[in-house]
Structure 1
Amino acid sequence: MKIKKWMIVTTASVFLFAACGLQEADDYVDENYTFVDAVQNNTNTNDQAMLYRTNQSLQETAAELIDVEQPEKIGQEVDGRQVLVYNNEFIILTQDPDNPGSTLVEVAEDEFVRTHYNPGFFSGMLLGSLLNGRFGSNWERTQTNRCRYNDGGCYSGGGYYGGGTFSNGSYGRGSTFRGGGPGEGK
């Protein structure tokens, strides 16, 4: 009987220590990559995206993050961009236009992507059905129309947050490289 209890305690301890060693991809990005910029909604500071830079290629960065935490979905690499979809967030990788050996890494929670991204940004990387399944059955069409008719309400992610304003009055801080920030009309 003592051996059985000892085996249960030992097995439970091994699983507990193994679980403690697991790291989420967003925490890994925050701890290992250089913070560059942030954009957030004035009315809800939890509604934000954080931008980082790493001195690795897009492929190396994607492989590293996939090793840290397996995404729910790995988007196709298209035009120097790739998206990794996790439980409650998107990690968007973009080859740095100013330094092809570097990658810009944007970490955005689901709500930020749902509210602020232009669905066309994901064209070729993810299927619209995946986004509609995640954000609501009609999200792609509704968000496309909102982006088209609400000047400054949507953007194409990763890169320059040029201090533009969202249609709801929130803003993005500026940084030194070009991309497509909120309100930049991309």
Structure 2
Amino acid sequence: MKDYAGIIVVGIIAFFLLFNVFGGNDQRGMSGSATEDTYGELPSEPDRSEILNTIEMSEAKDIESLVQESFPLLDTVRSDQGISRIYMTKELTLKEVADSLSSAISPEEISERQENKQALIYPDHFVIIQESDEEAGLITIELASDEFVRNNYSPSFFQGLFLGSLLNRALGSNDWYDRRRSSCQQTGNCYGGYGMYGNYNSGGTSSMRGSTNRGGGPGTGK
């Protein structure tokens, strides 16, 4: 009986080892919203005047806290090197979001508005504000860590927003822009801005997708 029990135990261990090697669905690299035909119900949010009042009256000392308390969380994009949280509003325009945030906490750099997007640079974070291509009237507010931008973003995304030399300085490098551009051209697999249905277009030959990770924020009942 002992011999049979040993064989059974060995067989169970072998099964799980084979499952982990061949049957798992571990997707390394970047993850975010799953590819979908429709997003479903968006997070609820306060009305326009309440959002603006929350920002104006906030005692937040940093941009991360200010964005978190002012807008509902839509999605989270993770990679092996950094994290980017996506917030949203349908109550404010792109200009209102950028102006209200920069008035409450001054950024180190603020870009012009180009192609329905604008970016603010703060210590430790980039705030990238865009008009959604997928949902009419929706503004996404991407709160990306410096680490996430440095290791995932394609420099081409920032064309018309910031000079390469400014990005180098903001990311603590002398040559980030050129090195990253060369890498992105070779791989075609750099992050090029948030897409609600899992497509993180790089302008290259592929895109990045992952598993859904949404929720939180004001007005969600949490």
Quick check: TM above 0.5? yes
1:96 counterpart letter in structure 2: S
Aligned to 2:87, the other structure's residue is in SS state: strand
Partner of 1:16: none
Greater length-normalized contact order (CA 8 Å, ≥ 6 residues apart): 2
Alignment check: 8 A CA contact 1:132 1:138 kept = yes
Match of 1:40 among 78, 100, 117: 78
Structure 2 partner of 1:25: 63
Q: SS at the partner of 1:97?
A: coil
Instruction: Quote the residue 2:164 is aligned against.
Output: 128
Match of 1:50 in 2: 85
Deviation at 1:38, TM superposition (A): 0.8
Once the 2 structures are TM-superposed, how far is the Cα of residue 151 of structure 1 from its aligned partner?
Answer: 4.0
Following TM superposition, by how much is the alpha carbon of 1:73 offset from its aligned partner in structure 2, in angstroms?
A: 0.4
Relative to 1, partners in 2 of residues 1:149 and 1:92: Cα closer, same or farther, differing over 3 Å?
A: same
For structure 1, the 5+ residue unaligned runs are 1-19, 165-169, 176-186
* Identity percentage of aligned residues: 31
**Pairing partner for 2:112 from 66, 70, 76:** 76
Q: How many residues align?
A: 148
Give unmatched runs, 5+ long, in structure 2. 1-57, 201-207, 214-222
What is the rounded CA distance, in whole Å, between the counterparts of 2:130 and 2:199 in structure 1?
20
- Which is further off, 129-138 or 78-87? 129-138
Distance of 1:140 and 1:121 partners within structure 2:
11
The amino acid of 2:193's aligned partner reads G
CA distance in 2, matches of 1:53, 1:27: 15
CA contact (8 A) 2:126 2:144 kept: yes
Contact 1:163–1:174 (8 Å) recurs in 2: no
Measured at CA, do residues 163 and 123 of structure 1 come closer, stay the same or move farther in structure 2, by a change above 3 Å?
Answer: closer
Task: Name the one with the larger strand percent.
Answer: 1
The CA distance in 1 between the partners of 2:120 and 2:188, in whole Å, is 28
Name the SS of the counterpart of 1:76 in structure 2: coil
SS in 1 for 2:65: helix
Residues 161 and 49 (structure 1), Cα distance of their counterparts in 2 relative to 1, 3 Å cut:
farther
Deviation at 1:148, TM superposition (A): 1.3
> Helix, strand or coil: the match of 1:48?
strand
Q: Secondary structure at the match of 1:39?
A: strand
CA offset digits 1:134-158 (Å, max 9, x no partner): 3311111110111111242x11112
Matched with 2:186 is: 149
In the TM superposition, residue 26 of structure 1 has moved relative to its aligned partner by: 1.7
Match of 2:143 among 84, 89, 107: 107
1:138 to 175, 178, 199: 175
Would you say the 8 A contact 1:53–1:103 is kept in 2?
A: yes
CA distance in 2, matches of 1:22, 1:163: 32
8 Å CA contact retained: 1:84, 1:91: yes
